[in-house]
A and B are shown apart, each in its own frame.
Chain A
Amino acid sequence: MSEPKIRFDKVLKAYGPLKVLEDLDFHVDASEVVTIIGPSGSGKTTVLRVLMTLEPIQGGVMYVDGEPLNMMMSDGQLVPASKAHVRRIRDKIGMVFQSFNLFPHMTALENCIEAPIHSKGMAKSKAIDESMDLLAMVGLADKRDHYPSQLSGGQQQRVAIARALAMRPEILLFDEPTSALDPEMVGEVLSVIRRLAESGDYTILLVTHQMGFARDVSDRVCFFDGGRMVEQGKPEALFGHPRNERLKQFLSKVLEAV
């Protein structure tokens, strides 16, 4: 059996006595598109944040392509990872945030080329070529010299997607990418994500409240509640025939709201 792209092995994330993720076993295969749904406080965003190493975990191991991320092998033993080890593995992961987090002092193009040049050491001309292709792909080539404050929310989020792609990640994490957007801008962002999902070039882990979209693009949907993965399955099965009582309640609430 081939190694999954991402694997969580008994991952524990706690703030003091509060366990946000408890002994989480979880995996995502290469090129798989997985959506995580759940009520607020269920730990769904935390899964992305610990994988991106934005927050440390208190127990367990996360693997990417079979290599440990938060730990490393030394003399046949797992020891806490060095910064260099984390940077090497993390290079495969890109993330898109709910609040975009573009660099406000840089133009759209500068946002995209910043990390390829200063983190990967790519030549500037090559970085510009690649980033311009990506900006064109998200439909914003003409906005290359605009600063984030001069762009709409939907445009900012599309620049943020181009910026993440410019690092040529293999894994893309989307943390509620449309939650901060005005309703009329949700579509333009989802259509970009849909294209990435359908290309099969990326392993995608998505947290969203857009249930219709999750149903459309996902290979698998996972329902989180209280720091545990309570139910998972193909979108038709999970949305069509939920078994868990909490999932039934959750779905009836969110689907009612639509």
Chain B
Amino acid sequence: MAIPRIAFIFAITAFLAGLGVATFSELRIFLPALLRGAVVTVQVSVLSIALFLLTAFVAGIARAFGTAPVRWSAAIFVEVFRGTSLLVILFWFFFVLPEFGVVMPPMVAAVLGIGLNFGAYGAEVVRGAVQSVPRGQTEASIALNMTQFKRMTRIIIPQAVVITIPGLSNLTIELIKATALVSAVTLTDITFASVQQNQLHYRTLEIFAITVLLYYCLAQFIRFGGGWLEDHFSRHLKPRSA
């Protein structure tokens, strides 16, 4: 598993290094612009992921445990943000809300739009995970006279978290790729920077090779992070080594 991947990454890196040497002078011209775009992509990603995870857990737990009004509010939130296009949500935050006096900088609009849109998907992952914790766990908590709050925070949610990891990792990777839409609200992320630099310098292969590599590396980072978290949270299911 690991060796082909390392070989693959090594090959790509070597290929790009070769290209870089061959076109060193060109790289110096467009690389700074691409790096500025990469910083924007990473910024939007990190902030959106934070909002996405927060929203997913709050809305998912509200749907699973809340009283009727709370459940309904969470359900409406999920339906609105899941049922509409991310691009249109971004337009709404940046171009439509100012008509009602709500003006926000492009970074805020981008993070809100992406975080809430993916949070709505994530909420369903969290709800499914919470509801898949066996009923016997709830019964044992009642028999031990725990309050509903302790039952949620100490018994059900810790067991649900590990179940959410594959689904939420998937969405996180999707989210990073969806940040390419933020140019719609005037942010210059790596994708938009690539398009611009390509129009200026016509170094299509080098520019888009760097772009694709950046997305791939970010996705791998999430993949390994998710794998590590999953191992960490399910160590109690492994046989004892001692």
Give the interface centre of A52, A107, A114 by most chain B CB atoms within 10 Å: A114
- Interface assignment of A215: CB less than 8 Å from any CB of chain B: no
Give per-residue flags for B142-179: 1 if the beta carbon is below 8 A from chain A beta carbons, else 0: 11111100100011001100000000000000000000
B145, A101: Cβ atoms closer than 8 Å: no
- Interface assignment of A58: CB less than 8 Å from any CB of chain B: no
- Interface assignment of B104: CB less than 8 Å from any CB of chain A: no
Distance in angstroms between the alpha carbons of A164 and B142 in the assembled complex: 11
Of chain A, the residue at the smallest CB distance from B149 is A118
Chain A residues within 8 Å of B159, by CB: 103-105
Chain A residues within 8 Å of B238, by CB: 149
B240, A54: Cβ atoms closer than 8 Å: no
Distance in angstroms between the alpha carbons of A195 and B201 in the assembled complex: 86
Chain B residues within 8 Å of A97, by CB: 136, 139-140, 143
- Interface assignment of B68: CB less than 8 Å from any CB of chain A: no
Give per-residue flags for A82-120: 1 if the beta carbon is below 8 A from chain B beta carbons, else 0: 000001001101110101011111110000001100111
Contact for A150 among B134, B155, B233, B239, CB less than 8 A: B239
A90, B150: Cβ atoms closer than 8 Å: no
Give per-residue flags for A175-191: 1 if the beta carbon is below 8 A from chain B beta carbons, else 0: 00000000000000000
From 159 to 199 in chain A, residues with beta carbon under 8 angstroms from any chain B beta carbon are: 163-164, 167
Given A104-B237, A105-B158, A150-B239, A87 and B147 contact (CB-CB distance below 8 Å):
yes
From 112 to 131 in chain A, residues with beta carbon under 8 angstroms from any chain B beta carbon are: 114-115, 118-120
Distance in angstroms between the alpha carbons of A95 and B140 in the assembled complex: 8
Distance in angstroms between the alpha carbons of A150 and B235 in the assembled complex: 11
- Interface assignment of B5: CB less than 8 Å from any CB of chain A: no
Shortest C-beta distance, B238 to chain A (Å), equals 8
- Interface assignment of A26: CB less than 8 Å from any CB of chain B: no
- Interface assignment of B236: CB less than 8 Å from any CB of chain A: yes
- Interface assignment of A250: CB less than 8 Å from any CB of chain B: no
B136, A101: Cβ atoms closer than 8 Å: yes
A104, B146: Cβ atoms closer than 8 Å: no
Distance in angstroms between the alpha carbons of A99 and B35 in the assembled complex: 57
Contact for A119 among B134, B139, B147, B237, CB less than 8 A: B147
Shortest C-beta distance, A67 to chain B (Å), equals 15
A147, B144: Cβ atoms closer than 8 Å: no
B146, A119: Cβ atoms closer than 8 Å: yes
B150, A101: Cβ atoms closer than 8 Å: no
Of chain A, the residue at the smallest CB distance from B134 is A101
A115, B144: Cβ atoms closer than 8 Å: yes
Chain B residues within 8 Å of A94, by CB: 143-144
- Interface assignment of A234: CB less than 8 Å from any CB of chain B: no
- Interface assignment of B85: CB less than 8 Å from any CB of chain A: no
Give per-residue flags for B117-146: 1 if the beta carbon is below 8 A from chain A beta carbons, else 0: 000000000000000001011011111111
Distance in angstroms between the alpha carbons of A97 and B139 in the assembled complex: 9
B143, A52: Cβ atoms closer than 8 Å: yes
B145, A91: Cβ atoms closer than 8 Å: yes
B139, A101: Cβ atoms closer than 8 Å: yes
Q: List 14 A-B contacts (CB under 8 A).
A: A54-B142, A95-B143, A99-B136, A103-B155, A104-B236, A114-B154, A115-B141, A115-B144, A119-B145, A120-B145, A146-B240, A147-B240, A149-B236, A164-B143
Interface residues of A (CB under 8 A from B): 52-54, 87, 90-91, 93-95, 97, 99, 101-107, 114-115, 118-120, 146-150, 163-164, 167
Please give 16 more A-B residue pairs, beta carbons under 8 A apart, in addition to A99-B136, A103-B155, A147-B240. Answer: A54-B139, A87-B147, A97-B140, A101-B134, A101-B137, A104-B237, A105-B236, A107-B236, A115-B145, A118-B146, A118-B150, A118-B154, A119-B145, A148-B236, A150-B240, A167-B145
